[in-house]
Amino acid sequence: MKSILSIYDLLPIVLLVVQTLIIVIGTVYVLRYLKILQTPYAGMEIRKVVLAASMLLSTLIISFADVEALSASYIIYCDGIAGAENPYFNNLPFAPNKGEAVLVEINDLPTNHIYKKGFSLVPWKDNIFWLGSNYLWEFENDSPTPGYYRFAENWLRQNLKVPFTIIDHLAGIRPATLERRPFVGFHPLHPRVGIFNGMGAKGCSLAPFFANQFVNSIKTGTPIYKESDVKRFTRVLSRT
């Protein structure tokens, strides 16, 4: 698991949402990237942002003096798989699983279709396609594996009649849940501390919907869907 310290203490992003200042801390900036999340290549674009942030964290010294003057009405953790280590929410039933994909350059394949045979070959940009993904429930880390690369290469050879070149190999851990339902809402014992997590493999479609629902809940008190509201785990989260 990734260090909580590097995420929670060194990467604050401040958003103003209808007179409510929310500090969103984490690796997926849902509210900021709503438009990106609605695109078919959202995962890759968000990955770029995360990699850029990781590079900043590895090369810069960030002082707490830079953020000590900030204040907020709420703190909402959008910390992906690191949420399983979050001291406020580590009792929630996360069920992380790993996925891998490759980016493939294919010059002679039409880019106006999604090709599916077991896995999906999805146009990204220019002549670059995304091929994925798999689901691994047992894994050692979030690194790409030679096994998936070989599988992808064999899949391409069996299903394409045109030349191709694998140009990148991606891997990540999905913040899935045992119930296959998101974790959205505020902590029962800490009503100013919230969570936005557990979107799993459908995050690109679920995140914009539940982000809007969460914001409306803060603004107007509109209820969050009970199937996704973290209040369903009040008993679990109330354990000390």
Relative to beta strand 165-174, strand 97-105 is: antiparallel
Taken in order 52, 100, 29, 69, is the CA torsion positive or negative? negative
Is 27 within 8 Å of 79 (Cβ atoms)?
A: yes
Each residue of 125-153: pLDDT tens digit?
Answer: 889 999 998 989 999 999 999 999 999 99
41 pLDDT exceeds 60? no
pLDDT value of position 25: 36
d(CA 88, CA 193): 8
pLDDT at 21: 35
How far apart are alpha carbons 28 and 16 in whole angstroms? 17
Domains of the chain with bracketed CATH:
4-95+177-237 (no CATH), 97-174 (3.30.9.10)
Average pLDDT, the chain: 78
Measured CA distances, 12 to 15, 26, 118, 167, 177 (Å): 10, 8, 40, 33, 25
pLDDT at 49: 52
78 pLDDT higher than 50: yes
pLDDT of residue 30 exceeding 50, the answer is no
Q: Which residues contact 54 (CB under 8 A, 6 or more apart)?
A: none
pLDDT at 17: 31
